[in-house]
Amino acid sequence: MDFHQNLFLRFLIFILFLSHSTLRSLGWRQSRNLQEEGLITGGASSATFDPTRVIQLSWRPRAFLHKNFLTEEECDHLILLAKDKLEKSMVADNDSGKSIESEVRTSSGMFLWKAQDEVVAGIESRIAAWTFLPVENGEAMQILHYEHGQKYEPHYDFFHDKANRDWGGHRVATVLMYLSNVENGGETVFPRSVEGTQTKDDSMSDCAKQGYSVKPQKGDALLFFSLHPDATTDSLSLHGSCPVIEGEKWSATKWIHVRSFDVPQTTNKVCADEHEKCALWAAAGECERNPHYMVGSKVEKGYCRKSCNVCSS
């Protein structure tokens, strides 16, 4: 580990363990009603987070839990954006890097547009403030839905293929936000975690007892790192989503890369849809209800410009 990496790690640990009174003297925002502060409507306050709500779970792998990272309204808003656009979840092929179907992952999901609306943009800014990683290093937020028996077998978030590493580098960190409570099951488990310090909890499923586990609580966010501070991959970051036994599970995932993950805009004049369901969504009125995703903006094109009649072939 070089001098700069060591210095950054020491600073991060120092911030995490500052006392409540010290934080106040340094001007950090204290715990308040997040809805009253306007986090649900965006604005400057959306980039703030409350470090007194962060719990250090494990150092091997490095994992932290932020209690009440999202408000109830933010959770419900993200679910509403995704509910009618879910498709079977895919995984990245280890050789080609292409997305393929696999029984390893049986949930359904969809990707939001980056900064799709004020709420999404505010959450993305808050994630950047918490992780000390810039917004542009993050992928678009993925919303996932798990029904009874659905799961995601233990896997790594860093890449095994070169194709994905060429675009933004490895995923250095993951922020997993729980959008709903789960009656039974659905825990996030780290089967290779080293510390055996987790308090015994009989409400955990058998799957969750295979390693350090986090029970989904609506509004909480789990941050864990796939790379060591020296940028090598962490084999202990293996993690999975246990099967849902009762109820359903909604979550939002933000993967963050070593470098910028923003896609440069093409300069060609081709008018085309980038999703097979664009025509169906346009007919249902999504061009008006969800313009950020469907049409886009001055700085980023939407996915369904042709079906929304904002360009011509």
82: DSSP letter:
H
Alpha-carbon span 187 to 68, nearest angstrom: 17
131: left (phi over 0), alpha (psi -120 to 50) or beta: alpha
- Count of CB atoms situated within 10 Å of the CB of 126: 24
Q: Is the dihedral of CA 138, 140, 141, 142 positive or negative?
A: negative
pLDDT per residue rounded down to tens, the chain (313 residues): 555 556 555 555 555 544 444 433 333 333 334 334 333 433 334 667 889 999 999 999 999 999 999 999 999 999 999 999 998 776 555 555 455 566 666 688 999 989 999 999 999 999 999 999 999 999 999 999 999 999 999 999 988 766 667 668 889 999 999 999 999 999 999 999 986 667 678 889 999 999 999 999 999 999 999 999 999 999 999 999 999 999 999 999 999 999 988 754 444 457 888 888 889 888 888 887 777 678 876 556 778 888 999 887 6
In one-letter notation, the amino acid at residue 230 is: D
Q: Which of these, 148, 307, 306, lies nearest to 242 by C-alpha position?
A: 148
Instruction: Name the 3-class secondary structure at 283.
Output: helix
How confident is the model at residue 9, as a pLDDT? Answer: 56
How confident is the model at residue 40, as a pLDDT? Answer: 40
**Regarding beta strands 249-257 and 171-178, do their DSSP bridges make them parallel or antiparallel, or are they unpaired?**
antiparallel
Q: How far is CA 281 from the centre of its chain?
A: 25
Q: Which fold has domain 3-257?
A: Jelly Rolls (2.60.120)
How confident is the model at residue 171, as a pLDDT? Answer: 94
Domain boundaries, the chain: 3-257, 266-313
How confident is the model at residue 212, as a pLDDT? Answer: 94
Q: Which of these, 277, 261, 270, lies nearest to 311 by C-alpha position?
A: 270
How confident is the model at residue 120, as a pLDDT? Answer: 96
How confident is the model at residue 165, as a pLDDT? Answer: 72
